[in-house]
Amino acid sequence: MAGWRSRLASHVAAELSTARGAVRQLAQRADRRATEAKRAASRAMDTAREKQAALTSTHRAEVDRITAKAESDIDNAVAELTEVTARLSAPCADAEWSRWTPAPVDRSLAAPLLRVGSLAIGSADAETQRPPALVGLMDHSHLRIAGAAEAALPSVLLRAIGCAEPGACRLTVYDPERLGGSLAGFAPLAPAGLLSFVGPHGLSDMLDEHVEHIRRINATVLAGDHASLRELAETTGRRPEPWRLLVLLGAEMDDWTKDQRAQLTRIRRTGVACGVHLIVVGTDAADDANTLSLDTTSTTLAGQAPVRLDPAPPSALITGTCRRIAEVYAAGPQPTRLSDLIPETLWTKSSACELSVPLGEGSDGRLADIVLGDNPPHALIGGPSGSGKTNLIYSWLGALTARYHPDELALYMLDFKEGVSFARFAGGRRDPSWLPHVRLVGVNINDDREFGLALLRYLRQELRRRAEAAKRHEATKLEELRAVDPQGRWPRIMAVIDEFQVLLDGRDSVAAEAVALLEDLARRGRSQGIHLVLASQDVAGIEALWGRPSLIAQFTLRIALPKARRLLAEANNLAEEIPRYHAVVNSDSGVTQANRVVRLPNASDRAVWDPLQEKLWRQRPADNDSPLLFDGDHVPVLPERIELPTTDPTPVAVLGKAIDVSSRAATLRLTRTPGRNLAILGTRTTEACDVLAGAALSVARTTDVRVTICCLDPDAAAHAYRLAWACEAAGSTVDWQDKLDEVVTAWEEQPTDRPHLVLLYAVDAAGSSLTTAGRNALRSMLLTGPERRVHTFGWWRSVPRLREDLGGYAARFDAIDAWVALDVQGPELAPLSPQPGGPAWYPRTRRGLFFDRAVHRQAEVLIPYDTESVLPTVDNMLTGSPADEH
Ligand SMILES: Nc1ncnc2c1ncn2[C@@H]1O[C@H](COP(=O)(O)OP(=O)(O)OP(=O)(O)O)[C@@H](O)[C@H]1O
């Protein structure tokens, strides 16, 4: 038994041991696998961890990148917004009140939006880098300010008045509770009429007044041509009406009457287009599209973006700004601009019927025209010194010359004042350009009334020429003449005479002739296109015209500058009331009903005038000559050559420059007839020497002459020597004599093959030293010399001394055909003059009165030429010979 059992046992044991071994092996294998699996799992975990770490950092980087981009985009957008909004609110939108100053916007632009704070967006810390929070007001909308944001009101108002020209923004504050407490800083505007406070009792009137204002603007300013004042400004560059801000503080609108609410609704609906803007602070009744809102943290324009309001402006800033604005405004409105009167295209108008141009801005904000034609034909301008007459003339001329071609308009400008206000039209060293329409400019002519007379005579001649042409063509007025004679040059003529009363001064022949000519021109010039424009600062001057009813009646166009007196009709006092730089333009002889107030541009400023003149000058026609300039202060130099109207060979002596429109020389023809001598009368040595030298030299330069010189005044000797030299240099034979006796006896011995000039300086100095025979010989030379070609040019220092030399009381003056009087009074010239009592002559420096019996009915005024610079100097004479000069 034991055997099998033991064998079984050992078999089982063996089996067990095998199984155990197998199990062990299995267990070891499983162990190994588990270890391997664990390792693999651990590796996988490690890998997964690594991957996750990598992913996380990529994600983080991506998130960072996106965040950075978003932030930069936001900042860029904010910067862009800041820039755009800053532009919209420029120019006086500085966030810092310490840097803020008023900066009025150009009149042709819409008003800017107004800054009230900043938008709390973007990353910038600095207030200035944040976009401004804006509200619209002038030219944009009405504004509603929530009660809690009332502190923003001073800032809105200050910025509003700061971006308008002084006076162009006016405030009315309805403040039933506090009467202006919060706006006390704006009080300096009140005395200038730029701010008014209204209490409950004034509400209806205030609303009515604003509604009426809107109605007037719609009817007369916009007048259907423009939708709003903003559009008017943008298209025309003009802003004729101020903005009116109507501030309603704590208004209980529910308690208002029906009428008051209706008026407010009208203002809401139509005010913005007419520059009337509401600022309602506190509870507001309606919500409409014309109104923007401002709260403590938002504005309509900012949308969802949170708003941070600016601090209130310091009260000193408000008061100071308002005071300055009020001062500038009180000083008077700024003038309109000359450029407003200038059309884009030059010279497009015809003057056939009239001259019609804008002169300035009328009270309706439109350009006001001024017309000269058949009616009104002539203008009278008046105003005290400094009231702007010259400036008005410039404005008028600027508008005229830009519209009418120089073939359509010719200007003759005369200024009797001491000054050169018209000289700029003639061109000069500083500015070579001239105004192409101007044919003649006279300046500094206050002592030379003869020049005014000369112009009037010239115009009368032109009037005759026109009248004859009209008659030939069976035309009755310029318009018809131009229609039937289209090739003819018939410009309208405008003659402007500033301080014309000088011409009418006194009771002499000049004044009498001037009045007669003015009357004739005024009466007949109307239909022939000749227009007179007379200006005066002097009431007496204007009054001088009132004394001549037929003359003043022709001047139906009256232009009165501020404080002009006696220019308009008796009861018409408007000129007393208008502010400076304005004029009353009245084309019906000054009757009140025809008054128009015109605001004038600043045209006298050279910076404004010169570019216009330069532009016109560059376009001038090829045959346009510079205007003739007559300057009373200028002493003309003896010209090298003088154009004479005749070509006959008779010697002609040039005595001076005539005071007339053509600038001709005053001459004396030396024919072989008795009396062709010249006497120069007076004590002014220089001028007498100049007349003698001019006369002798002008003959010597053109004719082969013999010259005898005798100088009895030591002060004139140097001049006489120099003249002798110059005559010799011109080819003359010159004989110098120290004694008058010798001259008067020797003349007959000279051959008569050529003219002989005897130049006697200070003849009367010979006095008693001249023997009786000598005196007779002198008379004989004077009487009979010219027939033998001997012409005496003698200088006597007084008329009695000449008379003495000619034979005392019984003297005959027929040996002296021609004379030039210097400082000799008119009555003294009676014996030499055809006028009983002598000519009306008041001696004045550098002027002589010239009479030639052969040609004159009346003596004429001349300006002795300066010969100083045409004669050789003493140094020249010492170092050269006359032949060198020749
Ligand atoms: N519309 C205007 N805008 C700006 N400045 C003006 C205007 N009108 C006149 N002025 C200025 O006022 C001053 C006086 O003007 P202006 O010389 O034209 O006056 P006036 O009446 O001719 O004076 P006077 O008779 O003394 O010559 C000048 O400095 C001129 O520039």
Q: Whose CA is nearest to atom 5 of ligand 1?
A: 602
| Calpha distance 736→748 (Å, rounded) | 16
Question: What is the atom index within ligand 1 of the atom nearest the CA of 383?
Answer: 21
Give the confidence band of 377 by pLDDT, cuts at 50, 70, 90: very high
Neighbours of 882 (CB within 10 A): 19
Residue nearest to atom 31 of ligand 1 (CA): 604
Residue 118, pLDDT > 80, answer yes
User: 281 pairs with which residues across the strands?
Assistant: 145, 249
Which atom of ligand 1 is closest in space to residue 360's alpha carbon?
Answer: 1
CA distances from 51 to 58, 61, 185, 210, 518 (A): 11, 15, 71, 78, 113
Asked if residue 386 has its Cβ within 6 Å of ligand 1, the reply is yes
Task: Determine the Cα–Cα distance for residues 559 and 387; give it in Å rounded to an integer.
Answer: 12
Separation CA 803–CA 809 (nearest Å): 7
**Rounded distance from Cα 94 to ligand 1 centre (Å):** 37
Q: What ipTM was estimated for this complex? A: 0.97
Say how far apart CA 804 and CA 816 lie, in whole Å.
Answer: 13
Question: CA-CA distance, 478 to 374, in Å (whole number)?
Answer: 9
Q: Candidates 390, 599, 606: which one to mutate for ligand 1, based on the most atoms within 8 Å of Cβ? A: 390
Minimum mean pLDDT range among 64-68, 331-335, 408-412? 331-335
Which residues are paired to 307 by β-bridges? 119
Residue in 334, 381, 389, 391 to alter for ligand 1 test, most ligand atoms within 8 A of Cβ: 391
- Closest-CA residue, ligand 1 atom 25, reads 385
Say if ligand 1 is within 6 A of residue 528 CB. Answer: no
Selected residue with higher pLDDT from 119 and 589? 589
Residue 738 pLDDT > 70: yes
Q: Is 581 in the pocket of ligand 1 (CB under 6 A)?
A: yes
Q: Token pair 């006095």 is at which residue?
A: 767
The pairing of strands 142-145 and 291-294 is: parallel
Side-chain half-sphere exposure of 700, counting CA atoms within 13 A:
26
Q: Rounded distance, CA 265 to CA 164, Å?
A: 26
Q: Tell me: the pLDDT tens digits for 460-490?
A: 999 999 999 999 999 999 999 999 999 999 9
* Segment 540-559, tens digit of pLDDT: 777 777 778 888 889 999 99
User: Which comes out higher in pLDDT, residue 87 or 862?
Assistant: 862
Residues linked to residue 356 through DSSP beta bridges, in sequence order: 371
Residues comprising the chain, all counted: 886
pLDDT of 91 higher than 70 = no
Query: Which phi and psi angles does 252 have, rounded to 5°?
Result: -90, 85
Residue pLDDT, tens place only, 250-293: 888 888 999 999 999 999 999 999 999 999 998 776 667 788 88
* 394 CA closest ligand 1 atom index: 18
Say yes or no: CB of residue 398 within 6 Å of ligand 1: no
Q: Is 390 annotated as belonging to a binding site?
A: yes
Average pLDDT over residues 379-386: 94
The highest-confidence range among 217-221, 223-227, 330-334, 466-470, by mean pLDDT, is 466-470
Instruction: Please report, for the chain, how many H helices and E strands are present, in that order.
Output: 22, 30
593 pLDDT more than 50: yes
Q: Please report the atom of ligand 1 found closest to the CA of residue 335.
A: 3
Which positions ≥6 away from 639 have C-beta within 8 Å? Answer: 665, 865
E strands in 664-789? 665-669, 678-681, 706-711, 733-737, 756-761
Which secondary structure element, helix H or strand E, spans residue 868, and what is its range?
Answer: none
Cα(875)–Cα(868) distance, rounded to whole angstroms?
14
Average pLDDT over residues 418-444: 88
Inter-residue contact 245 to 170 (CB < 8 Å): yes
Residue 149 to residues 224, 307, 577, 711, Cα–Cα distance (Å) = 39, 11, 44, 100
Contact 531, 372 (CB under 8 A): yes
Residue 387, marked binder: yes
E strands present in 64-168: 114-119, 132-135, 142-145
3 state SS of 558? strand
Evaluate whether 604 touches 387 at the Cβ level (below 8 Å).
no
**DSSP string over 338-362:** GGGGS-SSSS-B--SSEEEEEEEEE
Q: Which run of H or of E encompasses 152? A: none
Please name which of 139, 143, 148, 562 lies closest in space to residue 385, comparing C-alpha atoms: 562
748-752 contact pairs (CB < 8 A, 24+): 748/788, 750/706, 750/790, 752/788, 752/789, 752/790
Query: Quick check: 90 pLDDT over 70?
Result: no
Pair 137, 160: CB distance under 8 Å: yes
Atom of ligand 1 nearest to the CA of 561: 21
| 389 known ligand binder | yes
Say which DSSP state 673 is in: S
Q: What is the band of 164 on the pLDDT scale with cuts at 50, 70, 90? A: very high
The per-residue pLDDT for range 601-645, each reduced to its tens digit, is 999 888 889 999 999 999 999 999 999 988 888 899 999 887 776
Q: Is the CB of residue 410 less than 8 Å from the CB of residue 491?
A: yes
- Give me the amino acid identity at 284: D
Assess contact for 692 and 723: CB atoms under 8 A. yes
> Is the pLDDT reported for residue 180 higher than 60?
no
Residue 9 confidence (pLDDT) = 75
Do you find a cis peptide bond into 91, omega within 30 degrees of 0? yes
In SS3 terms, 459-482 reads as HHHHHHHHHHHHHHCCCCCHHHHH
Range name among 31-40, 184-193, 306-315, 746-755 with the lowest pLDDT average: 746-755
Burial class (CB in 10 A: 0-12, 13-18, 19+), 254: exposed
- Would the CB of 365 count as within 6 Å of ligand 1? no
Tokens linked to 719: 């001049």
| In contact, 521 and 439? CB cutoff 8 Å | no
Q: What is the pLDDT of residues 35-68, one digit of tens each?
A: 999 999 999 999 999 999 989 898 999 888 888 8
Summarised one tens digit per residue, pLDDT across range 747-798 is 888 777 899 999 999 999 987 778 888 889 999 999 999 999 999 999 999 9
pLDDT value at 867 more than 60: yes
Structural domains of the chain, ranges and CATH numbers in brackets: 140-298+311-330 (3.40.50.300), 338-449+491-621 (3.40.50.300), 665-885 (3.40.50.300)
Query: Please, which pLDDT band fits residue 351 given cuts at 50, 70 and 90?
Result: very high
Assess contact for 524 and 467: CB atoms under 8 A. yes
Which pLDDT score, from 0 to 100, does residue 835 have?
Answer: 86
Half-sphere exposure for 316 (CA within 13 Å, toward CB): 2
Which pLDDT does position 881 carry in this prediction?
60
| Residue 398 known to bind ligand | no
Protein residue with least CA distance to atom 13, ligand 1: 386
Higher-confidence residue of 615 and 875: namely 615
Helix (H) or strand (E) holding 228: none
Hey, whose CA ends up nearest to atom 4 of ligand 1?
602
Compute the C-alpha angle 201/204/207, nearest 5°: 130
360 vs 240: CA distance, rounded Å: 12
CA of 603 to the centre of ligand 1 (A): 9
Q: With bands split at pLDDT 50, 70 and 90, how would you rate the model's confidence at 886?
A: very low
**Ligand 1: which residue has its CA nearest to atom 23?**
386
Split at pLDDT 50, 70, 90, the class of 333 is low
Mean pLDDT over 531-544 rounds to: 83
User: Distance between CA 508 and CA 835 in Å, rounded?
Assistant: 13
* CA-nearest residue, atom 6 of ligand 1: 602
Least confident range from 164-173, 233-242, 667-676: namely 233-242
Surface-to-core class of residue 525, CB atoms within 10 Å of its CB (0-12 exposed, 13-18 middle, 19+ buried): buried
Q: What is the pLDDT of residues 335-349, one digit of tens each?
A: 678 998 999 899 999
Per the annotation, does 384 bind a ligand? yes
The rounded distance, in Å, linking the Cα atoms of 739 and 722 is: 19
The count of other CB atoms within 10 Å of the CB of residue 795 is: 30
pLDDT at residue 885 tops 50: no
Query: Closest ligand 1 atom to the C-alpha of 605?
Result: 31
pLDDT tens-digit profile of 694-731? 999 999 999 999 999 999 999 999 999 999 999 999 99
For the chain, the average pLDDT equals 89
Each residue's pLDDT tens digit, 243-257: 999 999 988 888 899
pLDDT at 329 over 80: yes
Torsion 664-668-671-675 (CA) sign = positive
